[in-house]
Structure 1
Amino acid sequence: MTLNVSIRHQFSGFNLDIAFSAGSGVTALFGRSGAGKSTIAQAISGAFAPTEGHIALNEEVLFSSEQRVNRPAHRRGIGYVFQQDLLFPHFSVQGNLEYAQRYGRSQTGTTNLSEILDILGIDHLFHRRPAGLSGGERQRVAIARALLSNPSLLVMDEPLSALDDPRKAEILPYIERLRDHSQVPILYISHSVSEIARLADQVVAIDNGRVIKTGSATDVFADPNIVPQLGLQSAGALLTATIEKHEDDGLSKLQSASGPIYLPRLDAEIGQSVRVRVLAQDVMLSTVQPENISALNVIQGRVSAIKLGRGPGAIVSIESAGNTILARVTRRSVQALNLEIGSSCFAIIKSVSVAPNQIGRG
């Protein structure tokens, strides 16, 4: 699947001028509130017609100002999941899902009901009505309903923003399973760094109506120039690792290209690939091999970039065996350690500093 988007539109005080492509897996549109993400989603789905541009899905033109094409929303083959679930309250879960199958794009599509029920873990909810479901359960049903319309693309526009943190933690593993097992590509729109870091294969970072960075989730989050959009508290790089062992003292040992990583015990099987977001503010640096310290994770690498902030802070990028680690330190520390591009140093990460919501399936 390939989605190609190139659109322009002038609003009062805001110009949208965007171009990007999305393939299989999860492509995330990321940006702060007001960056233009939902407007782009509306243009793709057919709810909004930009002044000019071109939108094509699998080489099928959905919108073209030049060709004067603007296919209606119901003929675009796109499933849509909103912030609110919008389930039919007078239908049971079964009724909501059967409605999607009955009036979807094709009644002979390849989407399998039992497979979707299993992936999203909602088979036991089949005979209940939306009023009797939790927020996370309702949103999972909404996702299933969108998939059962047999779409070529699933657009998820801030699907977790209406949920509290426990409900988000409940639903994220199911969306990970959907990413890993469904053949339907997903365009995931969010301003949440933690959601994007866990779910996205590719990221399109947007600011003020324009694309400022595209690439794999690992590459985008490792770029120190993107820190202003992420926010200092949320800046951090992604490490890919494999669970090697669950220790008797409550820790899990992970193996990465940069060496072992110890984290509080993970509820996952040995051999499972995971992605770990290490916040820049939780990383300390040393130019010598640290000894007799409590932190269990020490990763050796070389400085690849130093970005000075407007205040006393700086972001230092450390390259280690293909991984990138970001460290948020002071300018004074950069000077005291005599850090420069190519300097050898050690990144020190406390195991307990990595929260559960910073760890997802690889």
Structure 2
Amino acid sequence: MMLTVTLRHAFPGFQLDASFQAPAGLTALFGHSGSGKTTVVNAVAGLLRPQSGRVTVGDMVLTDSDAGVFLPPHRRGIGYVFQEARLFPHLNVRQNLLYGHWFTGRGQQADLSRVVEMLGIGHMLSRRPAALSGGERQRVALGRAILCHPRLLLMDEPLAALDQARKDEILPYLERLRDHAGLPILYVSHSPAEVARLATTVVLMDKGRVSAAGPVAAMLSDPAVAPLFGMAETGAVLTARIEAQEPDGLTRLLTSAGPLFLPRIAAPVGTGLRLRILAQDVMIATAPPRGISALNVIPAQVHDMTAVPGGVLVRLQAGDQMILSRITARSADVLGLSPGVPVYAVLKAVSVAPGTIGVSRG
């Protein structure tokens, strides 16, 4: 099912003019504060009536200004998860979960059991929200939204109010939701780490407009787009699969470019992962390096080079995936780098950014 959005709306001092498509999976709306992300989500939810636009989910028209169509929020079949869980304090977890079901009349006990298992909240069904942690409350809010049987799920920075420990607690459940819910998810974020870990599609917002959109791996490895995330956060996403747990405490991963070794990852052999490698943590060598401690050396080829503040962003083709490396212009000249030159990307095991190892789809 595809979400298609075209919106135009003028506020004092701000103009929204955005168009994009969000397929099944998780589409991250990314941008700085004030870029229009929440405005887009509110328009999709029916909380804002745009001056001009069209919003459809599959073959259902939610908004069409030309045809005079504007479905009210309660008829859109949308689940909305806010920054705060907004649970009913006088209801226990089970009652909060079933609240939407009472109004939609859809679903059954099997649905509740499936969602409870997916979100790992079976042990807290009799508790009131006051007895839950922030991460637990957000998991219940997710469950309540899913049990409304929505056509579309909207999430407006659902982790923003949580500390890092609570974020780490809920991220695996968001991955499960992305991979198993089977519906489009529109996810607002200004965290590159969240985008790298969760998104299947990325829509970049800037000053009310869509500046770029596409699959997450292509977007994060595109030198024209990557700096929009901030140079310190610029990096690429690699897909990998756990091939073995080594006796010395390392996990061997298989990628299209060859094996990678990371500190032990607590997941079974065969698990698919996505890894975020920061460009500042990738060195380039023109010959196989010797006598170094780095375990991860990947043969690659220079795909292209882009001048950026303070140096050069080099995109490397490694198998069927891309890696970014940020080096100085002097280093690029000394190495004689140009498109097509064979090189070696040298990674440290610790160069995988914390908190961005996530289970990938498939």
Q: TM-score, normalised by structure 1?
A: 0.96
SS in 2 for 1:289: coil
In structure 1, what is the equivalent of residue 313 of structure 2?
Answer: 315
Amino acid at match of 1:335: D
Q: Which moved more, 1:224-233 or 1:45-54?
A: 224-233
The alignment's C-alpha RMSD in Å is: 1.4
In structure 1, what is the equivalent of residue 46 of structure 2?
Answer: 46
Offset at residue 289 of structure 1 (A): 1.1
Amino acid at match of 1:344: P
Contact 1:153 1:185 in 2 (8 A): yes
In structure 2, what is the equivalent of residue 71 of structure 1?
Answer: 71
Offset at residue 108 of structure 1 (A): 4.4
Deviation string, structure 1 residues 207-252 (Cα, Å, up to 9, x no partner): 2211122211111111011123111111110111110111122110
In structure 2, what is the equivalent of residue 37 of structure 1?
Answer: 37
Amino acid at match of 1:347: A
Contact 1:122 1:140 in 2 (8 A): yes
In structure 2, what is the equivalent of residue 348 of structure 1?
Answer: 346
In structure 1, what is the equivalent of residue 246 of structure 2?
Answer: 247
Inter-partner Cα distance in structure 2 for 1:219 and 1:109: 40
SS in 1 for 2:231: coil
Offset at residue 356 of structure 1 (A): 4.1
In structure 1, what is the equivalent of residue 328 of structure 2?
Answer: 330
Describe the shift of the 1:108–1:172 C-alpha distance in structure 2 as closer, same or farther (beyond 3 A).
closer
Offset at residue 183 of structure 1 (A): 2.3
SS in 2 for 1:245: strand
Inter-partner Cα distance in structure 2 for 1:305 and 1:34: 33
In structure 1, what is the equivalent of residue 14 of structure 2?
Answer: 14
Contact 2:219 2:226 in 1 (8 A): no
Stretches of 4+ moved more than 3 A in 1?
Answer: 108-111
Map 1:216-227; keep pairs closer than 5 Å: 216-227=215-226
Contact 1:28 1:196 in 2 (8 A): yes
Amino acid at match of 2:19: A
Q: Which moved more, 1:328-337 or 1:136-145?
A: 328-337
- Which of 355, 359, 362 is equivalent to 1:361? 359
Inter-partner Cα distance in structure 2 for 1:331 and 1:126: 58
Deviation string, structure 1 residues 303-325 (Cα, Å, up to 9, x no partner): 11211123x22211001111100
SS in 1 for 2:268: coil
Offset at residue 26 of structure 1 (A): 1.3
Contact 2:277 2:353 in 1 (8 A): no
Q: TM-score, normalised by structure 2?
A: 0.96
Deviation string, structure 1 residues 322-341 (Cα, Å, up to 9, x no partner): 11000111111111111111
Contact 1:9 1:50 in 2 (8 A): yes
SS in 1 for 2:224: helix
In structure 1, what is the equivalent of residue 163 of structure 2?
Answer: 164
In structure 2, what is the equivalent of residue 132 of structure 1?
Answer: 131
Contact 2:135 2:167 in 1 (8 A): yes
Structure 1: stretches of 5+ with no match in the other structure: none
Offset at residue 110 of structure 1 (A): 10
Q: Which moved more, 1:157-166 or 1:345-354?
A: 345-354
Identity of aligned residues (%): 49
Contact 1:30 1:189 in 2 (8 A): yes
Offset at residue 358 of structure 1 (A): 2.0
| 1:273 and 2:268 matched | no
| 1:61 and 2:61 matched | yes
Structure 2: stretches of 5+ with no match in the other structure: none
Describe the shift of the 1:64–1:110 C-alpha distance in structure 2 as closer, same or farther (beyond 3 A).
farther
